[in-house]
């Protein structure tokens, strides 16, 4: 059976990934600050394969330990880690950014994924098929005025996962740019003040933002369900 660890499952893409994989019959450890009522209900009725783990990703002391992950992953024939959680705030010019917001964003977008991946790689069963997915952004590769923290943390995390792929060639490791979609993050972007805001507002007004469930299904089809091939 496939065992999947997912961060940021309470809404948006994370909630869609959780629902789709739960529907596939996978074992899931969902990590988040809070959970939707339907997720809690699912964890009660399917306690043998659905677990919810409350954590504040910006606080390393709340992350699941190696032993917690080892217990969850034990017995599975495939171990999957999906880093979905992320935050675009703070949005603003360098020199005007709140210190605390920078620290929180770095924790959620960069530090937590590194720590959780390290624990996951240590905890996975020997000889299990391993996949690690990092949900990144096109902003990791281009400057968007006002998004310096988001872009820098996403770019830094991508480099970490590039290194993981080199150090662990037996694992399938991928940085994913899911593109824009109709989520709470997009709402926060439209509410902020920065030079390129009109582009994002226009996408919403024209109905050009895909639904998270469609993006989730594409990610699962391309990176979770697809067999791993080696050259």
Number of domains in the chain: 1
Lowest-confidence segment of 37-46, 164-173, 199-208 by average pLDDT: 199-208
The encoded tokens of residue 22 equal: 């739960």
β-bridge partners, 31: 7, 53
Domain CATH for 88: 3.40.50.720
In this structure, is residue 22 part of a structural domain? Answer: yes
CB atoms closer than 10 angstroms to residue 230: 6
For residues 97 and 88, give the distance between their C-alpha atoms in angstroms, rounded to a whole number: 13
Collect all residues with Cβ–Cβ distance below 8 Å to 215 and sequence separation of at least 6. Answer: 13, 16, 178, 179, 181
122 pLDDT higher than 60: yes
In this structure, is residue 109 part of a structural domain? Answer: yes
More confident call, 191 vs 45: 45
In this structure, is residue 97 part of a structural domain? Answer: yes
pLDDT of residue 203: 64
Q: What is the average pLDDT score of the chain? A: 92
Give the residue numbers spanning the domain of 65: 2-180+213-224
208 pLDDT higher than 60: yes
Annotate 169-228 with three-state secondary structure. Answer: CCCEEEEECCCCCCCHHHHHHHHCCCCCHHHHHHHHHCCCCCCHHHHHHHHHHHHHCCCC
In this structure, is residue 197 part of a structural domain? Answer: no
Lowest-confidence segment of 48-62, 76-90, 149-163, 169-183 by average pLDDT: 169-183
Measured on CA atoms in the order 104, 106, 111, 116, is the torsion positive or negative? positive
Closest CA to 158 of 144, 143, 138: 138
pLDDT of residue 181: 65
In this structure, is residue 192 part of a structural domain? Answer: no
3-state secondary structure of 111: helix
In this structure, is residue 208 part of a structural domain? Answer: no
In this structure, is residue 185 part of a structural domain? Answer: no
Tell me the pTM: 0.93
pLDDT of residue 157: 98
141 pLDDT higher than 70: yes
């Amino acid at each position: 059976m496939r065992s999947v660890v997912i961060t940021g499952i309470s809404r948006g893409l994370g909630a869609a990934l959780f629902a789709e994989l739960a529907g596939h019959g996978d074992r899931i450890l969902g990590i988040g600050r809070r959970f939707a009522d339907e997720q809690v209900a699912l964890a009660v009725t399917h306690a043998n394969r659905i677990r919810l783990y409350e954590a504040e990703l910006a606080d390393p002391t709340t992350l699941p330990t190696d032993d917690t992950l080892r217990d969850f992953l034990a017995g599975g024939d495939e171990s999957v880690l999906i880093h979905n959680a992320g935050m675009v705030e703070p949005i603003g010019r360098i020199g005007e950014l709140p210190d605390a917001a920078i620290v929180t964003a770095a924790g959620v977008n960069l530090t937590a994924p590194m720590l959780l991946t390290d624990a996951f790689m240590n905890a996975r069963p020997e000889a299990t098929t391993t996949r690690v997915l990092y949900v990144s952004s096109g902003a990791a590769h281009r400057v968007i005025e006002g998004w310096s923290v988001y872009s820098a943390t996403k770019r830094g995390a991508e480099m970490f996962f590039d290194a993981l792929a080199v150090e662990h060639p037996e694992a399938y490791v991928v940085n994913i740019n899911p593109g824009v979609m109709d989520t709470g993050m997009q709402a926060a972007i439209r509410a902020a003040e920065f030079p390129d805001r009109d582009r994002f507002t226009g996408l919403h007004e024209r109905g050009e933002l895909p639904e998270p469930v469609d993006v989730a299904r594409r990610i699962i089809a391309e990176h979770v369900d697809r067999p791993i091939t080696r050259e």
